[in-house]
């Protein structure tokens, strides 16, 4: 299982890895790392969406590193890749946290938020599937009452993963839907409530307030609910991820994040700079459209994959 | 969408314009900062490199460094290069050949294809008077076809009925046949989201492309995309011929880097930007105006167009007549508030005006926002018909009643009354000068002042100061501080802004 997911992640990250590898290849065989090469590494890290600041710092660390020279008195490629992976892992490690470990109340309420099209509904289904495999009962709250056919989308998933779906009418009150789902879970002894909220851009103040309201309303049934408030970030997103994380955290107080769509050519490197700036745990990564394609986030595997190591 | 980038660049340029003479290293340093600003805005690295190189070549020429205003010159060069990168002119959709013209929408998952399909259908139907049909080829995402059907119903266009178990290729053929039979002008094909690494899905896209021979193949991309934007655009355009780009979610706070990258990588123009979740939230993209916005030179042209679109001709004429007679009462004010709201509220207008970045912050600090305007509206609504026409009726007890009726304080009511009187006075003055009145006219006078900031003459690129001074004079000289946009607005007959307490006012 562990190997399997690493392979998937690796394929997913292959594009970004090859970028970083490219950077590494450019210094391989040289005796020292000159300024030009350093800029190259930095540029390649920027291309992986690590951001200007973090890229600069990591590149500098690699420069300061004393590398052992090989037979031909050149620097070995894998050495650099290893250093790179270690640097990235150091940043990511404190943020590693299993999404499912935090489930300790019943019913446990998990709220998913994020901008439009980041993959909340698909992620909700994937999480529900995981709980189903653990023999836990799940109710899905279709709190996206705005987008056309959003409810139908979740209902279809609900059927596939054997979860009940609570929905309201289109344009209705999304907080009410979440509340009713929680109520139902309490009454019928259901283990997990997953609230799938509507996508919203983080600079839309009213919509962000709606999200705060949903949390507030849900907390009326249980002071600690929603127990988990997770933001879903699109892996193709660039530096705007910072703004997204900040705004969602400010409005509802995030307990974690999930990065989706890492199976494309997206680099997901923004995770590294996010991990540095925010003390928000990273729970999982989405690496495909299949129900089992949501993988627990592991800092070491992610870093190694990003640096192009096997 | 460009605010952040605008602020960053603004700071760099401030450093430049402050100095009388510029050395090569000054320019070099400034460009380094520009580079960082662009990268932080997610402009693709290759594009940033090209951009900086272009600017450098032009900026270090002796002409620039020796000119009287080297800073301005550099800004002009950056502006010119920005426009080049963004594409130099707006390009319309090519859909006028033998019907049905096919528009194919492709892109990554969650980039906004289906919503864009609905918006595009609405745009073509309402603005171009085309008979449109929508068809969804997304047989993978649950309820994707349902979503398109609902959007089609909202836009009141035809949607190809679903048949379960059909392949995208088959649906394409059926859609083409149905469009011919029903004399459809434009057929919009909404495809499933796909990553460019998924070879099976990419070859499906290719097959659909071959079958439908689209007149337009639009890549739908998220404005918030990072460096990967380039990969995606490249991969799609290598496989099928992309003819244009639609940039979605540009109403977010993304820094617009993708906009800069897309054009340059695909060589295709950005044809539309998505600006809201609503059906009418799709706007044509104008490169020169976008460049203006990035450099905080404003987009006065769009503003004027928007004004023209929203404000009925008769309304404007009538208001002009009333104004020239000096009768500007609460009803007129109410009307103006309504127009302001229709034009996208304060935020919408502000984003199109030059030099506004800083002011926006100031206004936010003073709690000056659309809410304040709604408040003013509420106050007027709480007045009786007589009061609205004759403000002098408003004695203390009436004001108290209005305040409690509108949920505001008496001081709010007082402020509004004072503002209305100020405006009426100014209108009268302007009326005497003849001709100038009504929001529309004022807008067009502003347009005359600066049709395309930064492009007209190389010498004074940010905003033609002379023209602005002229404009100020026309306004009756009642605006001591031109920089104070709030007053400028007040003077121009837009409600709500004059109410901001201003010490500088005479």
Tell me the whole-structure pTM to 2 decimals.
0.73
Greater pLDDT, B340 or B364: B340
Residue written as token pair 């509340």: A179
Residue in A with minimal Cα distance to B33:
A52
Across the interface, whether the CB atoms of A267 and B150 are under 8 A apart is answered: no
Chain B residues lying within 8 Å of A243, measured CB to CB:
253-254
Dihedral sign (CA A260, A103, A274, A140)? positive
The helix (run of H) or strand (run of E) holding residue A94 is none
pLDDT of A272: 93
Q: What is the mean pLDDT of residues B237-248?
A: 90
Residue in A with minimal Cα distance to B347:
A204
Q: Tell me the β-bridge partners of B189.
A: B104, B135
Q: How many other CB atoms are found less than 10 A from the CB of residue B206?
A: 12
The helix (run of H) or strand (run of E) holding residue B104 is strand B101-106
Shortest alpha-carbon distance between residue A71 and chain B (Å): 35
Taking only residues 224 to 243 of chain B, the set having a beta carbon closer than 8 angstroms to any beta carbon of chain A reads: 224-229, 231-232, 235
Alpha-carbon distance of A178 to A213, in angstroms, equals 11
Dihedral sign (CA A183, A184, A190, A192)? negative
Residue B452: band (very low, low, confident or very high) from pLDDT cuts 50, 70, 90: very low
Report whether pLDDT(B296) > 90.
no
Nearest to A240 among B109, B149, B254 (CB): B254
pLDDT of A9: 55
Whether the Cβ atoms of residue B131 and residue B242 lie closer than 8 Å to each other: no
Least confident of A187-201, B121-135, B417-431, B462-476: B462-476
Q: Which two tokens stand for residue B112?
A: 């906004």
Whether the Cβ atoms of residue B230 and residue B265 lie closer than 8 Å to each other: yes
Q: Tell me the β-bridge partners of A142.
A: A167, A196
Q: Which two tokens stand for residue A83?
A: 């250093």
Alpha-carbon distance of A220 to B46, in angstroms, equals 52
pLDDT in 10s for each residue of chain A, 310 residues? 344 545 655 555 555 555 555 656 666 666 666 777 778 778 888 888 888 888 888 888 888 877 766 666 666 667 777 888 899 999 999 999 999 988 888 899 999 999 999 999 999 999 999 999 999 999 999 999 998 899 999 999 999 999 999 998 878 899 999 999 999 999 999 999 999 999 999 988 899 999 999 999 999 999 998 999 999 999 888 889 999 999 999 999 999 999 999 887 776 889 999 999 999 999 999 988 889 899 999 999 888 877 777 6
Nearest to A236 among B40, B150, B225 (CB): B225
Nearest to A238 among B196, B235, B257 (CB): B257
Dihedral sign (CA A182, A183, A185, A186)? positive
Q: What is the mean pLDDT of residues B186-203?
A: 91
Check residue A99 and report its DSSP letter.
G
pLDDT of B26: 79
| Cα-to-chain-centroid distance, residue A66 | 34
Express each pLDDT in B7-16 by its tens digit: 777 777 777 7
Q: Which of B274, B272, B324, B353 is nearest to B441 (CA)?
A: B324
Dihedral sign (CA B331, B337, B340, B341)? negative
Chain A residues lying within 8 Å of B222, measured CB to CB:
117, 234, 236-237
Least confident of B143-157, B197-211, B217-231, B489-503: B489-503
Alpha-carbon distance of A289 to A99, in angstroms, equals 19
Q: Tell me the β-bridge partners of B283.
A: B273
Report whether pLDDT(B368) > 70.
no
Report whether pLDDT(B299) > 70.
no
Report whether pLDDT(B77) > 70.
yes
Residues constituting chain B: 506
3-class SS string, A234-303: ECCECCHHHHHHHHHHHHHCCCEEEEECCCCCCCCCHHHHHHHHCCCCEEEEECCCCCCCEEECCHHHHH
Residue B389: band (very low, low, confident or very high) from pLDDT cuts 50, 70, 90: confident
Phi/psi for A49 (5° steps) reads 70, 25
Q: Tell me the β-bridge partners of B247.
A: B221, B273
pLDDT of B447: 38
Residue in A with minimal Cα distance to B231:
A265
Alpha-carbon distance of B340 to B334, in angstroms, equals 10
Alpha-carbon distance of B326 to A214, in angstroms, equals 51
Residue written as token pair 């500098």: A60
The helix (run of H) or strand (run of E) holding residue B393 is none
Q: Which of A228, A226, A245 is nearest to A237 (CA)?
A: A245
Shortest alpha-carbon distance between residue A203 and chain B (Å): 6
CA torsion angle for B205, B206, B212, B214 (degrees, to 10)?
90
| Cα-to-chain-centroid distance, residue B286 | 9
Residue written as token pair 């709030």: B486
Q: Which two tokens stand for residue B288?
A: 């020169």
The helix (run of H) or strand (run of E) holding residue B380 is helix B370-381
Q: Which two tokens stand for residue A15?
A: 């594009």
Dihedral sign (CA A82, A87, A89, A90)? positive
Give the ipTM.
0.84
Q: What is the mean pLDDT of residues B445-467?
A: 36
Report whether pLDDT(B317) > 80.
no
Across the interface, whether the CB atoms of B227 and A49 are under 8 A apart is answered: yes
Q: Cα angle at A86 between A82 and A88, to 5 degrees? A: 120
Phi/psi for A75 (5° steps) reads -85, 135
Whether the Cβ atoms of residue B107 and residue B193 lie closer than 8 Å to each other: yes
3-class SS string, chain A: CHHHHHHHHHHHHHHHHHHHHHHHHHHCCCCCCCHHHHHHHHHHHHHCCCCHHHHHHHHHHHHHCCCCECCCCCECHHHHHHHHHHHHHHHHHHHECCHHHHCCCCCEEEEEECCCCCCHHHHHHHHHHHHHHCCCCEEEEEECCCCCCHHHHHHHHHHHHCCEEEECCCCCCHHHHHHHHHHHHHHCCCCEEEEEECCCCCCCHHHHHHHHHHHHHHCCCCCCCCCEEEEEEECCECCHHHHHHHHHHHHHCCCEEEEECCCCCCCCCHHHHHHHHCCCCEEEEECCCCCCCEEECCHHHHHHHHHCCC
Mutate to test the interface with A, among B34, B39, B110 (most CBs of A within 10 A): B110
Q: Which of B445, B447, B424 is nearest to B319 (CA)?
A: B424
pLDDT of A70: 63
Residue in B with minimal Cα distance to A237:
B225
Q: What is the mean pLDDT of residues B372-385?
A: 87
Chain A residues lying within 8 Å of B198, measured CB to CB:
264
Chain A residues lying within 8 Å of B109, measured CB to CB:
117, 119, 261, 289
Across the interface, whether the CB atoms of B110 and A117 are under 8 A apart is answered: yes
Across the interface, whether the CB atoms of B197 and A15 are under 8 A apart is answered: yes
pLDDT of B448: 37
Q: How far is CA B237 from CA B203, B215, B221, B245, in A?
A: 13, 15, 13, 11
The top-scoring range by mean pLDDT among A159-168, B63-72, B279-288 is A159-168
Residue B339: band (very low, low, confident or very high) from pLDDT cuts 50, 70, 90: confident
Chain B residues lying within 8 Å of A149, measured CB to CB:
143-144, 146-147, 149-150
Q: What mean pLDDT value characterizes chain B?
A: 75
Q: Which two tokens stand for residue B209?
A: 């492309």
Report whether pLDDT(B433) > 60.
no
3-class SS string, B220-277: EEECCECCHHHHHHHHHHHHCCCCEEEEECCCCCCCCHHHHHHHHHHCCCEEEEECCC
Alpha-carbon distance of B271 to B245, in angstroms, equals 6
Across the interface, whether the CB atoms of B40 and A150 are under 8 A apart is answered: no
Q: What is the mean pLDDT of residues B219-226?
A: 90
Residue written as token pair 């070879």: B199
The helix (run of H) or strand (run of E) holding residue B25 is helix B24-40
Across the interface, whether the CB atoms of B253 and A203 are under 8 A apart is answered: yes
Longest dimension (CA), chain B: 76
Alpha-carbon distance of B260 to B453, in angstroms, equals 20
């Amino acid at each position: 299982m562990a190997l399997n997911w690493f392979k998937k992640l690796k394929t997913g990250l292959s594009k970004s890895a090859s970028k970083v590898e490219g950077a590494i290849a450019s210094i391989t065989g040289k005796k020292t790392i000159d300024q030009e090469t350093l800029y190259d590494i930095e540029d390649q890290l920027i291309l992986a969406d690590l951001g200007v600041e973090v890229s600069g710092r990591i590149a500098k660390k690699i420069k300061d590193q004393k590398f052992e020279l090989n037979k031909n008195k050149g620097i070995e490629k894998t050495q650099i890749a290893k250093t790179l992976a270690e640097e990235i892992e150091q940043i990511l490690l404190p943020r590693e946290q299993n999404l499912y470990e935090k489930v300790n109340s019943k019913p446990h309420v998990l709220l998913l938020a994020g901008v439009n099209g980041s993959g909340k509904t698909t992620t909700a289904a994937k999480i529900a599937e995981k709980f189903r495999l653990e023999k836990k009962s799940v109710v899905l709250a279709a709190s996206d009452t705005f987008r056309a056919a959003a409810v139908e989308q979740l209902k279809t998933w609900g059927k596939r993963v054997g979860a009940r779906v609570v929905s309201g009418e289109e344009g209705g009150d999304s907080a009410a839907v979440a509340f009713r789902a929680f109520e139902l879970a309490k009454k019928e002894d259901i283990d997990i409530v997953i609230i799938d909220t509507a996508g919203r851009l983080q600079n839309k103040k009213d919509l962000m307030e709606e999200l705060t309201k949903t949390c507030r309303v849900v907390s009326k049934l249980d002071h600690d609910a929603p127990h988990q408030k997770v933001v879903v970030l699109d892996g193709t997103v660039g530096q705007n991820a910072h703004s997204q994380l900040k705004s969602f955290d400010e409005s509802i107080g995030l307990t974690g994040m999930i990065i989706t769509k890492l199976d494309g050519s997206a680099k997901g490197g923004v995770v590294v700079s996010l991990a540095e700036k925010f003390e928000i745990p990273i729970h999982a990564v989405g690496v495909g459209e299949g129900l089992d394609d949501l993988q627990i986030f592991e800092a070491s595997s992610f870093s190694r994959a990003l640096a192009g190591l096997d | 969408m460009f605010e952040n980038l605008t602020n960053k660049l603004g700071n760099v340029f401030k450093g430049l314009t402050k100095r009388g003479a510029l050395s090569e290293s000054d320019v070099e340093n400034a460009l380094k900062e520009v580079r960082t600003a662009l990268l932080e805005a997610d402009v693709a690295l290759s594009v940033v490199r090209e951009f900086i190189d272009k600017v450098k070549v032009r900026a270090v020429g002796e002409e620039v460094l020796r000119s009287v205003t080297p800073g301005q010159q550099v800004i002009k060069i950056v502006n010119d290069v920005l426009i080049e990168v963004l594409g130099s002119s707006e390009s319309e959709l090519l859909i006028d050949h033998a019907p049905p013209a096919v528009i194919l929408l492709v892109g990554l998952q969650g980039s906004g294809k289906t919503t864009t399909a609905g918006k595009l259908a609405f745009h073509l139907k309402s603005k171009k008077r085309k008979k449109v049909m929508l068809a969804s080829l997304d047989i993978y995402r649950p309820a994707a076809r349902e979503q398109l059907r609902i959007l089609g119903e909202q836009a009141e266009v035809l949607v190809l009925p679903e048949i379960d178990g059909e392949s995208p290729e088959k649906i394409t053929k059926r859609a083409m046949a149905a469009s011919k039979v029903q004399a459809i002008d434009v057929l919009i094909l909404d495809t499933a989201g796909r990553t460019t690494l998924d070879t099976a899905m990419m070859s499906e896209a290719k097959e659909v492309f071959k079958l439908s021979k689209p007149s337009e193949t639009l890549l739908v991309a998220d404005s918030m995309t990072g460096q990967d934007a380039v990969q995606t655009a490249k991969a799609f355009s290598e496989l099928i011929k992309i003819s244009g780009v639609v940039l979605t979610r540009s109403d977010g706070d993304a820094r617009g880097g993708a906009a800069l990258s897309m054009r340059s990588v695909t060589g295709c123009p950005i044809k539309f930007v998505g600006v809201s979740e609503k059906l009418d939230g799709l706007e044509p993209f104008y490169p020169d105006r976008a460049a203006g916005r990035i450099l905080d030179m404003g987009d006065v042209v769009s503003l004027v167009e928007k004004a023209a679109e929203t404000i009925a001709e008769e309304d404007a004429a009538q208001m002009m007549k009333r104004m020239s007679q000096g009768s500007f009462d609460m009803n007129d004010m109410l009307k103006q508030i309504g127009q302001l709201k229709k034009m996208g509220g304060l935020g919408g207008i502000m984003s199109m005006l030059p030099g506004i970045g800083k002011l926006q912050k100031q206004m936010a600090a003073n709690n000056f926002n659309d809410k304040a305007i709604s408040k003013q509206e509420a106050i007027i609504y709480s007045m009786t018909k007589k009061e609205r026409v004759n403000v002098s009726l408003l004695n203390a007890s009436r004001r108290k009643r209005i305040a409690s009726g509108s949920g505001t304080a008496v001081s709010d009511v007082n402020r509004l009354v004072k503002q209305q009187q100020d405006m009426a006075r100014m209108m009268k003055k302007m009326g005497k000068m003849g001709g100038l009145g009504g929001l529309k006219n004022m807008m067009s006078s502003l347009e005359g002042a600066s049709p395309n900031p930064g492009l007209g003459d190389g010498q004074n690129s940010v905003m033609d100061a002379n023209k602005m001074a002229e404009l100020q004079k026309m306004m009756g000289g009642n605006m001591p501080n031109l920089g104070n946009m709030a007053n400028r607005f007040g003077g121009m007959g837009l409600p709500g802004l004059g109410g901001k307490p201003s010490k500088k006012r005479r």
